[in-house]
Structures are given as C-alpha cells and as structure tokens.
C-alpha cells in the first residue's frame, strides 16, 4: 500500500558524531549501572562524540519489576541521576533511560523516561507513550502513559526526536496487530526531527530481530529520516536481550551493532563506513541466545559452576554443551545416576559426551536410596492402620515409583549444589514441560531451565547444529536413539506422548500462535489435539513450581503466560 505522507521533512544531516552505548546493565544495580554509563560517556568524550545514547531504563536495568514500587529504589535512582548531571562530560549531550516521577493532580505518577543531559543540566525528560502490557510486559502496572505533545531537542544544527522502545512499534502500515490507537512516531514526525532516537530494552525471541529490522527500515523509509536504535544486551532472569543496535537512514542500514554483547562505538553520520548486520542462522542465533542466558544468570549472581544430571539423552547432552560454552568446561560437573532401568548405552553415551566436552563427571547409582525409599513405604504402610485397599496399592509399582527415581536424582543433584555451591541446571524441554512429562521435584529441579522454551524437535536441530559447528561433541547415538525417560523397563517417550513432530505442532499452534481449537483440529487429529491441550492445562500446577525458563519463543510457558491452575475451560473440548 502506498499513501502520500504529509509533513515529511527531508533531513539534511551535517556533522554529527553519535555514540552508541549498547550496555548490559544488572537489574537493580543502580550503582554498577551508573558506572557503566559513566565509562561509556568518558569513552565517548575521548572520541569527541556529540550525542551519547544508552538503552531504555539502563540506570535500573530492565525489567526492574516491582522494585519500581519501592520509593527507596526510585530515590536511589534519582540520586544517581543527580550524579550523572554533575559527572557526565559537559560538552556531550547524553540520553539516559531511567524512571521519572512527576506530581500530577496531587498524585505521584511514574514514567519510563529518557533524561537528556547537556552542559551539566537536564535539558529535557522525554516520557514513554506506549506501555506494553502483554506477554512478559507489565508496564501499565508501574508506569503512566505520556500525554504530552511530542517535541524535539536542538543539538547544533540537528533536531533530535526521542522515542522509547514500544513508541515505534505501532505503525499503522506495518504492525500486524495494532495494540494502541496512537502512533507516537507519526506524531513526533510532525515536529520535523532530523534524527530520531529510539532507546530500547527489547527482549529477544527467535526471529524477532528480523521483524524489528524490517520495521525500522520501513519507518525510516516512510518518514524519510534517520533512526538511531539503541538496545540493551545481556540477560536478566528469563529475558535475553540481543543488542543489535542500529543506525538506519531512509531504509538503508548504515551501521549494525553486535549481537549478544555490549558495544561502545561512535559513528559519524557524515563520514562513515557502512557496517551491515552480522549474518546468523536461526539455529545459530538460538544457540548464542541460550548461551548468554546461562552466562548472565550465573555471572550476575556471582556463581561460576553448574551441576547437570547426564542421562545419556539428548536434552541433558545439549544443556551440558550450552553450559560449557557459557561457563567453560572446568565449571561444569556432569552427574551420571544410573538405575536398574538404565540401558548400557545411556551410561556410555553420557561418558562419551563428557569426554568430548572435557568436563568432570561423578557417578551416583540411585539403586540404594530408591530401594530404601520403596522399602520404607511398603513396610510402614503394611504395618499401619491404613485401609487394606491402600495397603494393597503400595505393593505394585506405578508412576509413583517412577517419580521416586526422578526425585532421588533431583535430590542428589541438589545435595551437590548445596554442598559445593554449584547451580543446578534443569534439562527439561518445552514439549515435556507442556505435557507434564517431567517429574515435579525431580526433573523439574534446578535454578534455570535453558531448554524450557525449546521444543524437542528444536532440541534435535540445535544438537545437529552444535555438532556441525563445534566438532561432533554430542555422540551420534544420543541423537539417533529413541528418546526414553528410562524409569521402567523398555520405556519410550512415544509410549505416552504423540510423536514429537505432532506434539510440537499442536503446542506451537495452540500455545504460541494462539489458534482457536477449531483451526487446530483442521490440521491435526482431534483426539490427539484434545489430549495435548487438556494435558497442557492439567499440568499448569507443575509449571507453577518449575525453574526459571529462558524465553526463546513468542510465548514461553512462563513468564509471559498466566493461566489459572484451577479452571475447567479445557473440559469443554
């Protein structure tokens, strides 16, 4: 669709040296983040940059969540804003994302803002207009919507227009779903800025950076302008930020920042060498994101070492590879916990993997605690005053005993975690966490579930990518054998679950795409689809107690998905 735009300003950029501070702040570490901003500004000063740009809320780190409800937290933020005013290089204009309080009608309102520092003053504070409140975003919980008319800030011969993250995501010609009625960028363009700045903390999900790039290319073409996009990098809890800041002029990408790492770089809008975005495959991108997610979860809490249960299966193999890439091989302990139901190849496959990765292993056969637990239950229940029906039931193995095995393993790994200060990584993937094919307090133990938002089919793709890119570290047998929990003789995942291609297809349609049930059963078998969706909902209570999941898709199991545990909707199907 082509429409004629009014009020278009044909920007003519003169000398203007931008400085992109693609930072990795730590949530709540205002002091530390202040240090990072000051370091960036001093570097920019040395490079004689005119305009220094930092990401959204970079003084507090994003997302600060309910820290924003604490007045002492906001007071601390304000204190460091006053330090910035004093200490930032005078001659450079600096844009810093931070919370801003304002008294309106006798009530204090909070805004997500861009502070503009220049010559020892705060020359302006631009407030965010569109507050994302969907999926992982909760901004209406904390912030008030900006209702001021847009304005530009003069810097030399340039007129700078500032937007904050979501403010550029509601273009009526580009957005698939328009969540808001306003398009703040369109309003701003009426003020004829020569440069548009967008400060962001835009959480990564697979493929999102391509959409974002297309959106910015579209916007700069539509408005015939130059847009400087500065995004946070690093991971905070479940969210990974890919950075990928960029400078785009009228649809042409002049400069593309690195992904998954901080970057301090100046860029002269008159004299520059183009730098295109780094090419990466979808799977390669996922691998980098997960590695950063693990790395920052450990580093930002001061942990260095991970403990992982190695079952000989593909999930734990992939988690071990990711952990080695994130933390280094000397910081990963693989624990083999065979039982009577473990096949010989499970142990050897795990050992080959560990040898390939060069990680330390420990073998803890679970037979004795498992037997001891079973025996205790059997003898005590037999001699108890419980009804006969209950006594009878304890004599035969069922899912209870399978869960005990899984829980003994979880307990042993947690014991190592407690004893040695290692963090336990959970190995569950999205397919099994969706269907409850993972034992609560067993497989679901751990600080972090790196694969909790990765379907089993993608676990295979990722494993093949790893073998192709980093030497064949995952033994072929791990990739080719039929997946099994090995909790009873000859058990296979597919005894209980639909084939993973089908299962993942249904989950993707229902969970990620949010397709209506009727559309799903047009594509999939109705009985299978009904089973998958019911099972998904019935296992909500397990996921409520699951470890933190690194978000990789447009809809993770948590956070960003809030379903009641007690509900009966799925019984309608």
- Catalytic residue set: 56, 128, 165
Based on CB atoms, which residue is closest to a copy of itself, 94 or 236?
236
Based on CB atoms, which residue is closest to a copy of itself, 248 or 350?
350
Binding to a copy of itself (CB under 8 A): which residues in 168-227? 177-179, 181
- Binding a copy of itself (rule: CB under 8 A), the pick from 55, 64, 184, 450 is 64
Residue 269 Cβ vs a copy of itself, minimum distance, rounded to whole Å: 36
Based on CB atoms, which residue is closest to a copy of itself, 199 or 307?
307
Considering the rule CB under 8 A, would residue 32 count as an interface residue with a copy of itself?
yes
Based on CB atoms, which residue is closest to a copy of itself, 30 or 114?
30
Considering the rule CB under 8 A, would residue 70 count as an interface residue with a copy of itself?
yes
Q: Which of 132, 158, 3, 108 is nearest to 56 (CA)?
A: 132
Based on CB atoms, which residue is closest to a copy of itself, 417 or 463?
417
Number of residues that bind a copy of itself (CB under 8 A): 104
Q: Which of 171, 236, 162 is nearest to 199 (CA)?
A: 162
Query: Measured between alpha carbons, how far is 466 from 481 in angstroms, rounded to an integer?
Result: 17
- Binding a copy of itself (rule: CB under 8 A), the pick from 440, 451, 497, 506 is 440
Considering the rule CB under 8 A, would residue 105 count as an interface residue with a copy of itself?
yes
Pairing of strands 246-249, 423-424: unpaired
Considering the rule CB under 8 A, would residue 490 count as an interface residue with a copy of itself?
no
Residue 141 Cβ vs a copy of itself, minimum distance, rounded to whole Å: 5
Interface pattern 232-251 for a copy of itself (x via CB under 8 A): ----xx--------------
- Sequential DSSP letters for 399-434: HHHHHHHHHHHHHHHHHHHHHH-PEEBP---HHHHH
Phi and psi angles of residue 235, each rounded to the nearest 5 degrees, phi first = -120, 140
Considering the rule CB under 8 A, would residue 550 count as an interface residue with a copy of itself?
no
Considering the rule CB under 8 A, would residue 46 count as an interface residue with a copy of itself?
no
Considering the rule CB under 8 A, would residue 360 count as an interface residue with a copy of itself?
yes
Beta strands in 437-516 (DSSP E): 448-449
Q: Which of 325, 295, 296, 259 is nearest to 61 (CA)?
A: 296
Residue 445 Cβ vs a copy of itself, minimum distance, rounded to whole Å: 6
Task: Specify which residues 467 forms β-bridges with.
Answer: none
Considering the rule CB under 8 A, would residue 27 count as an interface residue with a copy of itself?
yes
Binding to a copy of itself (CB under 8 A): which residues in 393-412? 393-394, 398-400, 403-404, 407-408, 410-412
Helices H / strands E in the chain, number of each = 19, 20
Based on CB atoms, which residue is closest to a copy of itself, 161 or 410?
410
What's the token pair of residue 225? 């302008």
CB contact burial 111-122 (16+ within 10 A = b; e otherwise): bbbbbbbbeeee
Residue 226 Cβ vs a copy of itself, minimum distance, rounded to whole Å: 30
Based on CB atoms, which residue is closest to a copy of itself, 280 or 416?
416
Query: Measured between alpha carbons, how far is 189 from 185 in angstroms, rounded to an integer?
Result: 6
Based on CB atoms, which residue is closest to a copy of itself, 59 or 196?
59
Considering the rule CB under 8 A, would residue 548 count as an interface residue with a copy of itself?
yes
- CB contact at 8 A, 127 and 100: yes
Query: Measured between alpha carbons, how far is 540 from 558 in angstroms, rounded to an integer?
Result: 10
Query: Measured between alpha carbons, how far is 543 from 414 in angstroms, rounded to an integer?
Result: 19
Instruction: Look at phi and psi of residue 490 and say left if phi exceeds 0, alpha if psi is from -120 to 50, else beta.
Output: left
Considering the rule CB under 8 A, would residue 541 count as an interface residue with a copy of itself?
yes
Task: Specify which residues 199 forms β-bridges with.
Answer: 164, 230
Instruction: Report how far apart the first and last C-alpha atoms of the chain are (Å, whole number).
Output: 41
Task: Specify which residues 116 forms β-bridges with.
Answer: 95, 124
Query: Which part of the chain contacts a copy of itself (CB under 8 A), choosing from 2-10, 206-214, 368-376, 498-506?
Result: 368-376
Based on CB atoms, which residue is closest to a copy of itself, 115 or 422?
422
Pairing of strands 246-249, 226-231: antiparallel
Query: Measured between alpha carbons, how far is 365 from 566 in angstroms, rounded to an integer?
Result: 38
Query: Measured between alpha carbons, how far is 485 from 487 in angstroms, rounded to an integer?
Result: 6
- Binding a copy of itself (rule: CB under 8 A), the pick from 447, 451, 497, 506 is 447
Considering the rule CB under 8 A, would residue 492 count as an interface residue with a copy of itself?
no
Considering the rule CB under 8 A, would residue 381 count as an interface residue with a copy of itself?
yes
The SS3 of residue 438 is coil
- Sequential DSSP letters for 166-183: GGGS--TTT-SS--SS--
Residue 13 Cβ vs a copy of itself, minimum distance, rounded to whole Å: 35
Longest alpha-carbon distance in the chain: 90
Residue 415 Cβ vs a copy of itself, minimum distance, rounded to whole Å: 5
Based on CB atoms, which residue is closest to a copy of itself, 160 or 164?
164
Binding to a copy of itself (CB under 8 A): which residues in 260-319? 296-297, 300-301
Considering the rule CB under 8 A, would residue 29 count as an interface residue with a copy of itself?
yes
Considering the rule CB under 8 A, would residue 368 count as an interface residue with a copy of itself?
yes
Binding to a copy of itself (CB under 8 A): which residues in 326-355? none
Residue 346 Cβ vs a copy of itself, minimum distance, rounded to whole Å: 17
The CA angle 68-73-77, to the nearest 5 degrees, is 100
Considering the rule CB under 8 A, would residue 69 count as an interface residue with a copy of itself?
yes
Binding to a copy of itself (CB under 8 A): which residues in 120-179? 133-134, 138, 140-141, 177-179
- CB contact at 8 A, 362 and 336: yes
């Amino acid at each position: 669709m082509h429409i004629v735009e009014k009020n278009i300003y044909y920007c003519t950029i003169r000398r203007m040296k931008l400085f992109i501070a693609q930072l990795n702040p730590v949530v709540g570490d205002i002091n530390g983040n202040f240090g990072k901003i000051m370091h960036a500004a001093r570097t920019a000063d040395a490079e004689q940059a005119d305009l220094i740009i930092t990401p959204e809320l970079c003084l507090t780190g994003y997302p600060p969540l309910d820290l924003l409800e604490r007045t002492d937290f906001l007071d601390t933020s304000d204190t460091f804003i006053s330090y910035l005013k004093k200490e930032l290089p005078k001659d450079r204009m600096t844009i810093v994302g931070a919370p801003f309080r304002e008294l309106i009608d006798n009530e204090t309102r909070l805004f997500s803002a861009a502070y503009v520092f220049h010559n020892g003053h705060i020359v302006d504070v631009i407030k965010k207009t569109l507050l994302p409140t969907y999926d992982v975003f909760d901004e209406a919980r904390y912030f008030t919507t900006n209702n001021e008319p847009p304005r530009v800030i003069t810097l030399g011969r340039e007129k700078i227009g500032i937007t904050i993250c979501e403010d550029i995501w509601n273009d009526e010609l580009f957005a698939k779903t328009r969540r808001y009625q306003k398009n703040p960028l369109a309003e701003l363009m009426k003020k004829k800025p020569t440069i548009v700045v967008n400060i962001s903390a835009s959480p990564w999900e697979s493929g999102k950076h391509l959409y974002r790039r297309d959106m910015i290319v579209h916007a700069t073409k539509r408005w015939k302008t130059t847009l400087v996009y500065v995004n946070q990098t690093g991971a905070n809890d479940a969210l990974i930020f890919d950075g990928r800041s960029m400078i785009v002029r009228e649809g042409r990408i002049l400069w593309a920042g690195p992904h998954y790492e901080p970057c301090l770089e100046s860029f002269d809008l008159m004299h520059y060498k183009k730098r295109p975005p780094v090419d990466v495959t979808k799977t390669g991108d996922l691998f980098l994101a997960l590695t950063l997610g693990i790395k920052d979860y450990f580093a930002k809490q001061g942990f260095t070492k991970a403990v992982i249960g190695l079952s000989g299966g593909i999930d734990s193999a992939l988690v071990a590879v990711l952990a080695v890439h994130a933390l280094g091989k000397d910081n990963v302990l693989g624990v083999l916990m065979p039982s009577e139901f473990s096949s010989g190849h499970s142990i050897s496959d795990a050992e080959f993997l560990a040898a390939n990765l060069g990680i330390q292993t420990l073998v803890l056969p679970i037979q004795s605690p498992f037997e001891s637990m079973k025996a205790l239950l059997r003898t005590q229940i037999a001699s108890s005053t419980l009804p006969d029906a209950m006594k009878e039931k304890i004599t035969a193995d069922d899912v209870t005993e399978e869960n005990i095995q899984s829980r003994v393993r979880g307990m042993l790994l947690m014991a190592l975690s407690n004893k040695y200060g290692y963090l336990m990584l959970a190995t569950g993937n999205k397919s099994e966490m969706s269907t409850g094919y993972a034992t609560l307090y067993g497989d679901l133990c751990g600080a972090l579930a790196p694969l909790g938002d990765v379907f089993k089919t993608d676990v295979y793709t990722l494993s093949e990518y790893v073998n192709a890119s980093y030497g064949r570290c995952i033994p072929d047998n791990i990739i080719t054998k039929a997946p099994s929990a090995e909790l009873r003789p000859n058990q296979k995942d597919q005894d209980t679950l639909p084939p993973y291609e089908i299962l993942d297809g249904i989950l993707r349609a229902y969970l990620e795409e949010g397709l209506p049930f009727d559309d799903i059963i047009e594509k999939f078998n109705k009985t299978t689809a009904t089973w998958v969706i019911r099972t998904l909902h019935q296992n909500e209570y397990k996921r409520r107690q699951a470890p933190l999941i690194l978000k990789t898709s447009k809809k993770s199991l948590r956070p960003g998905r809030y379903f009641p545990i007690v509900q009966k909707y799925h019984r309608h199907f």
